Chain A
Amino acid sequence: KQEVTQIPAALSVPEGENLVLNCSFTDSAIYNLQWFRQDPGKGLTSLLLIQSSQREQTSGRLNASLDKSSGRSTLYIAASQPGDSATYLCAVLGSGGGADGLTFGKGTHLIIQP
C-alpha cells in the first residue's frame, strides 16, 4: 500500500527566505505526483503536477522536482511571502491512473512571518 510522508510537518520562516518542502513515497510505481495548497477553511488548489517521466515543473516562484527511483519530491519556494502561508499537500497517483489510486500526505503547515 502506498504511503506518502511529508517533512517537516510544520515550518515557520521569515519573509524573503527560500525554502524546501519534502515529500517521500514508498511505491515508485506512480503515474504522477502533484503538489496542492490548502488555505484555512478552504479546499485544495493544485500548484504543480509532475508526470512520472518528468524531473521537474516550475510555476512562478515554485519549483517541484521528482526523483521517482528514490521515491522523493521537493517543492522549492523562492523569496517566500506572507501570502504563501498555507498547508502544502503532496499526492501521488498510482500507475493504474484511476482516481482511487491518489494517495495524499498529511501536509506541511507553512507560516511566513512578515
Chain B
Amino acid sequence: ETGVTQTPRHLVMGMTNKKSLKCEQHLGHNAMYWYKQSAKKPLELMFVYSLEERVENNSVPSRFSPECPNSSHLFLHLHTLQPEDSALYLCASSQGYHLQGNQPQHFGDGTRLSIL
C-alpha cells in the first residue's frame, strides 16, 4: 500500500480516443503532481496542484488536460494523443508544494500508456 493509487495500471489507446487517468491519495496531502517518464529520458514534471489550484504547467501540450476536484483526487484527461506520448505516467503527492525540509513526495505505481 503506497498511499497513492493510480488507475488503470495499463492503458492502450488509439490516437483518436479519449481516456482519463486517475490518481487518489490517502495521505492527507494537499499537493499533487503528474509526471511523465519516457524511456531513456529523465522524469518530467507535467502539472502541479496545490490546495486544488494549478500551480505549474510546464508547457505541456493541450491534448493533456488535468483536473483536481479535491485534495485527494487528480485526473489526467487525454485526447488526440501522439505515439510519442507513450510513457509511464506517475502521480505523486506531498504535504505542501514547497518541498523544503524532510517532506518528500510519495509516488503511485504509475499508468503505463501505449498509443497505437
Whole-angstrom CA separation of A44 from B56 in the bound complex = 21
Q: Are A100 and B110 in contact (CB under 8 A)?
A: no
| A42-B45 contact, Cβ under 8 Å, with A98-B97, A99-B99, A102-B99 | no
Point out the residues of chain A lying under 8 angstroms from B108, CB to CB: 43
CB contact between A100 and one of B42, B56, B104, B109 (< 8 Å): that residue:
B56
Q: A34 at the A/B interface (Cβ < 8 Å)?
A: yes
- Count how many pairs of residues, one from A and one from B, have CB atoms less than 8 Å apart in the complex: 69
Contacts of A28-61 to chain B: CB distance below 8 A: 31-32, 34, 41-46, 49
Q: How far is the CB of A23 from chain B (nearest CB, A)?
A: 12
Q: Are B112 and A43 in contact (CB under 8 A)?
A: no
Point out the residues of chain B lying under 8 angstroms from A45, CB to CB: 107
Q: Are B56 and A103 in contact (CB under 8 A)?
A: no
Chain B interface size range: 20 to 34
Q: Are B45 and A32 in contact (CB under 8 A)?
A: no
Whole-angstrom CA separation of A91 from B55 in the bound complex = 20
With both beta carbons as reference points, the residue of chain B lying nearest to A39 in the complex is identified as B109
Q: B31 at the A/B interface (Cβ < 8 Å)?
A: yes
Q: A89 at the A/B interface (Cβ < 8 Å)?
A: yes
Q: Are B112 and A89 in contact (CB under 8 A)?
A: no
Q: Are A106 and B97 in contact (CB under 8 A)?
A: no
Point out the residues of chain B lying under 8 angstroms from A43, CB to CB: 2, 4, 6, 90, 92, 107-110
CB contact between B55 and one of A32, A41, A89, A100 (< 8 Å): that residue:
A100
Whole-angstrom CA separation of A93 from B97 in the bound complex = 12
With both beta carbons as reference points, the residue of chain A lying nearest to B42 in the complex is identified as A104
Contacts of A57-114 to chain B: CB distance below 8 A: 89, 91, 93, 97-100, 102-106
Q: How far is the CB of A88 from chain B (nearest CB, A)?
A: 13
Q: A21 at the A/B interface (Cβ < 8 Å)?
A: no
Contact with A along B13-44 (1 / 0, CB 8 A): 00000000000000000010100000011110
Q: Are A42 and B99 in contact (CB under 8 A)?
A: no
Q: Which residues of B contact A (CB under 8 A)?
A: 2, 4, 6, 31, 33, 40-43, 45, 48, 55-56, 58, 90, 92, 94, 97-100, 102, 104-110, 112
Closest 6 CB pairs of A and B: A43-B107, A104-B43, A46-B104, A100-B56, A44-B107, A104-B42
